[in-house]
Amino acid sequence: MHLKLIAGAAAAVSLMSSIAFAQSSTVNGAAGGAITGAIVGGPAGAAIGGVAGAVVGTAIDPPPQKVVTYVREAPAPSTRVVVKEKVVVGQPLPETVVVTPIPDDPTYAYAVVNDERVIVEPSSRKVIQIIK
């Protein structure tokens, strides 16, 4: 009996890791985590799994390769933008930084800050990726 329970829990944990990596949004992450948590730990596991799944689901999706290529090849602005704050993925750019929309994909924009090209979410100005 205990062996079956342990084997079931191991399978659920394995399933949970697969679900966690496959999630692309907070809602899907929370739902997947809650389902897996319920399998492993009942109602309490569902609550804990939902929170853990939401955290995994908030990871920022990388932009498509065509967006990365566009940002790499786009001409740099004529004025150099320097900010004191460190540019960090997941954090918004300061309001003083000009953000340029990607023509073929308006869900992304870019900027050149401190000599680094960054891809941002236009509505929140959140940095999605720093191009190296």
- Note the pLDDT tens digit of each residue in 86-96: 999 999 999 99
- Note the pLDDT tens digit of each residue in 96-121: 999 999 999 999 999 999 999 999 99
Look at residues 80, 66, 62 and name the one whose alpha carbon lies nearest to residue 117. 80
Vertex 20 angle, CA 51 and 87, to 5°: 80
The whole-model pTM stands at 0.56
